[in-house]
A and B are shown apart, each in its own frame.
Chain A
Amino acid sequence: MSADTTLLRVDSLVCRFGGLLAVDHLDMEVAEGAIHALIGPNGAGKSTVINLVTGVYRPTAGTVSFRGERLAGELPSTIARRGVARTFQTIRIWRQMSLLENVMVGFQCRTRSNLVDVLLASRRSRADESATRRKAFEALELVGLEAGAGRLAGSLSYGQQRLLELARAIATQPSLLLLDEPAAGMNPQEAGALVELLFRIRRQGIAILLIEHNMRLVMRVAERITVLSFGRKIAEGSPAEVRSDPGVIKAYLGQSEENAAA
């Protein structure tokens, strides 16, 4: 199902925090429209990779390229506008705004109207507002949160908040979606629904790079899996290949709780 164009490419990426080597010469490629999973025991550096790709951290060495162009020292907002969206491991929705407003913020970077337009209530700003509202609602519908779109985001349950973050990221019209443990805290029923949602997202042409500990979900959804341990890649391939890789099994022996739950 994956196309042959590379969307995201990470070359020999290194990230060092003082004495700690969080990412150790990582090479990875995410293809256009693919669902790619990044797994590994806790502390393996997976979230760091997302932070490096989205510009939150600066790499110590190595490069990140998106659609063939280097993302060198760009602001996270610039990278987001290029089409790379993300969710956070610790949920960072804006609790004081409504569901709809949260997601509208995601889309509005795609609108052109500025302060002058707003102050003069120009046609462009009014058109942008209704388009933003519409697109935001569509994103909420995609994740199933459209009912009560006017509620305060802080009133949602934990799982709903995760979905809201997902909707918000989708609203930015990305080509690549980086999800940091989207299934955390979900029961099997919810996780199953998430799998369907991920396929729906992929059908819209959005590639997904997902960090997850829920192995059952990963095996069902991912076409390609990269395994990290202590910041370095120890295996990569299809789910079947990775599942039977001895290095992977060894790395996970100390993390048996998570696997048993999946």
Chain B
Amino acid sequence: MARTWRITLAAAGLILVLSLPALVESSYQLRLANVIGIYLLLVLGLNFILGYAGQLSFAQVGFFGIGSYAAAILTTDHGLSFWIGLLAAAAVSGLSALLIGIPTLKLRGHYFAFGTFAFGEVVRLLAVNWDTLTHGASGLSGIPAPAIGGFRFDTDASFYYLVVFFALLGIAVSARVERSKIGRAMFAIRESELAAEAMGIRTRQSKQTAFTLSAVFAGIAGALYAPLNTVISPDVFSFDVSVVVLVSLLLGGSGIITGAVLGTVLIVLLPEWLRFLDQYYMMIYGAGVVLLMVFMPQGLMGLMENLRVRRARAHAARAEAAPAGVGERTDRVAP
């Protein structure tokens, strides 16, 4: 696909995103957009540890909850500004990733996944029981809207632009990491950790970096969610959130930024479009996950990428004349 095509598409998308409040009819839809933006940060975060480094993680909800509680406690109980809360959310989540990562990243294969799953549960239990800090089961309410100087982000539209800012920042950071030595190291680990180690990559560190990045993204998402919802309770730590984040990434295409965006949009909007399914939606959702893994494990963008590669390869095969290296297989014809 020509580069100009991609740029125009991205530009069009950007214009659409920036003018959304004007195009949309109800504040409910704008709220959905905000939810998409916040979820996108969660999904982009997961993309580091799962998409790039290839480690299945269910920790996103745990970091999300930690971030939202950190922000909520600092802004509501201590009257600090949203920005301090945001910084604290990112820092505390990042630190948790370090604490959790040290014992769990040495677990082989999917035991790490289960460890992250257990982590989410622990944090939820802490939120419920540590009354003095977290207000227990009732949680915190009256979380104030963010403000810069005199301006308060207390309307759906103004908050939307705040979310868009962070979402775009998240995309930029992801793109930067993906193209760098850090990203390459993670891709290497995903495909063959053994080979990565043999080439001098400190795989433990690399996985930890991916994990910490995923946590920071989730923490920031949490800090944004707190004022959006104005209320935070231990319910925020529902395992379903981690599953939704995972399915979004897989549906769109794991390891691909545009995949993360596409998947998130679809997963948030699907229940709206399929409202008529009522209580059967979750059942179909579960079955859908199985079908997704059977028929389209590389996701929508992955599928497109495969088609593109296949077309390019067919193209190259036709034009094949380039002399390859020493090891080129010659035909088994007598010389």
Check whether chain A touches chain B (CB < 8 angstroms). Answer: yes
Chain B residues near A143: list those with CB within 8 A.
325-326
Instruction: Determine whether the beta carbon of B173 is less than 8 Å from that of A160.
Output: no
The residue on B at minimum CB distance from A157 is B329
1/0 contact string of B133-173 vs chain A (CB within 8 Å):
00000000000000000000000000000000000000001
Q: Tell which of B187, B326, B335 has the most Cβ of chain A within 10 Å.
A: B326
Check B329–A158 contact: CB distance below 8 A.
yes
Binds A, one of B109-117, B193-201, B287-295: B193-201
Q: Given the complex, which residues of B lie within 8 Å of A92, measured CB to CB?
A: 192, 194-195, 198
Q: Does A234 contact B (CB under 8 A)?
A: no
Q: Are A104 and B177 in contact (CB under 8 A)?
A: no
Residue of A nearest to B205 (CB): A77
B309 contacts A80, CB within 8 Å?
no
**A-contact bits for B314-327, CB 8 A (1 contact / 0 none):** 00100000111111
Q: Which residue of B203, B327, B335 is within 8 Å of A163 (Cβ)?
A: B327
Instruction: Tell me the bound Cα distance from A239 to B194 in angstroms.
Output: 33
Q: Say yes or no: B209 contacts A108, CB within 8 Å.
A: no
Q: Distance in Å from the Cβ of B177 to the closest Cβ of chain A?
A: 6
Q: With A and B bound together, what is the CA distance between A175 and B157 in angstroms? A: 61
Taking a contact as CB atoms under 8 Å apart, the answer to whether B182 and A115 are in contact is yes
Chain A residue at minimum C-beta to C-beta distance from B184: A105
Given contacts A157-B327, A157-B328, A197-B326, contact A54 B184 (CB under 8 A): no
Contact A186 B197 (CB under 8 A): no
A121 in contact (CB, < 8 A): yes
Instruction: Judge whether A77 and B325 touch: CB under 8 Å.
Output: no
Query: Chain A: interface residue count, which band?
Result: 35 or more
With a cutoff of 8 Å between Cβ atoms, the chain B residues found around residue A109 in the complex are 199-201
Q: Does A229 contact B (CB under 8 A)?
A: no
Q: Complex Cα distance A61/B187, Å?
A: 35
Given contacts A92-B192, A105-B188, A109-B201, contact A125 B180 (CB under 8 A): yes
Q: Is the CB of A77 within 8 A of B201?
A: yes
A residues near B326, Cβ cutoff 8 Å: 143-144, 159, 163, 190, 193-194, 197
Q: Are B176 and A94 in contact, with the CB atoms below 8 A?
A: no
Q: Do residues B180 and A86 form an inter-chain contact, with CB atoms below 8 A?
A: no
| A99-129 Cβ-contact flags toward B at 8 Å (1 or 0) | 0010011101111010100110100010011
Q: For B327, give its contact among A111, A125, A160 (CB under 8 Å).
A: A160
**Residue contact B200 to A172, C-beta cutoff 8 Å:** yes
Alpha-carbon distance A56/B192, docked complex (angstroms):
14
Check if B240 is an interface residue, CB within 8 A of chain A.
no
Which B residue sits closest to A155, measured CB to CB?
B313
- Option from A95, A119, A145, A157 in Cβ contact (under 8 Å) with B177: A119
In the complex, whether A93 has a CB less than 8 A from a CB of chain B is yes
In the assembled complex, B38 has its CB within 8 A of some CB on chain A: no
Q: Compute how far the CA of A147 lies from the CA of B321 in the bound complex, rounded to whole angstroms.
A: 11
User: CB distance B177 to A118 under 8 Å?
Assistant: yes
What are the interface flags for A175-187 relative to B under an 8 Å C-beta threshold, 1 for contact and 0 otherwise? 0000000000011
Cα–Cα distance between A101 and B178 once the two chains are bound (Å): 12
State the CA gap A158–B330 with chains docked (Å): 11
Interface presence of B275 (CB below 8 A)? no
Of residues 60 through 109 on chain A, the ones whose CB sits less than 8 Å from some CB of chain B are 75-77, 80-81, 85-86, 88, 92-97, 101, 104-106, 108-109
**Cα A80 to Cα B209 with chains together (Å):** 21
With A77-B202, A147-B322, A147-B324 known as contacts, the answer to whether A119 contacts B176 (CB < 8 A) is yes
Residue from the set B322, B323, B325 with the largest chain A CB neighbour count within 10 Å: B325
Give the chain B neighbours of A115 by CB distance below 8 A.
177, 182, 209
Nearest CB in chain B: distance from A238 CB, A: 27
> In A198-245, which residues have CB < 8 Å from any B CB?
none
State which of B185, B194, B199, B324 has its C-beta within 8 Å of the C-beta of A168. Answer: B199
> How many Å from the CB of A259 to the closest CB on chain B?
22
Cross-chain contact B200 with A77 (CB below 8 angstroms): yes
Q: Is the CB of A145 within 8 A of B325?
A: yes
**Could you tell me which residues of chain A, from 141 to 163, have a CB within 8 Å of some CB in chain B?**
143-145, 147-148, 151-152, 155-163
Q: B168: shortest Cβ distance to chain A, in Å?
A: 15
Q: Are B324 and A157 in contact (CB under 8 A)?
A: yes
Say yes or no: is B191 at the interface (Cβ < 8 Å to chain A).
yes
In the complex, residue of chain B having the shortest beta-carbon distance to the beta carbon of A88: B195
Q: How far is the CA of A158 from the CA of B329 in the complex (A)?
A: 8
Complex-state Cα separation, A84 to B69, whole angstroms: 48
Contact check, A96 vs B181: say whether CB atoms are below 8 A apart.
Answer: no
Residue contact B181 to A111, C-beta cutoff 8 Å:
yes
Complex Cα distance, B197 from A80, in Å, reads: 8
Nearest 6 interchain pairs by C-beta: A159-B327, A109-B200, A144-B325, A193-B326, A80-B200, A92-B195
Q: List 24 A-B contacts (CB under 8 A).
A: A56-B194, A76-B194, A77-B198, A80-B198, A92-B198, A94-B195, A97-B188, A101-B184, A101-B187, A104-B184, A105-B196, A105-B199, A118-B180, A144-B324, A145-B324, A147-B322, A147-B323, A148-B322, A148-B324, A159-B327, A172-B199, A189-B330, A190-B330, A193-B327
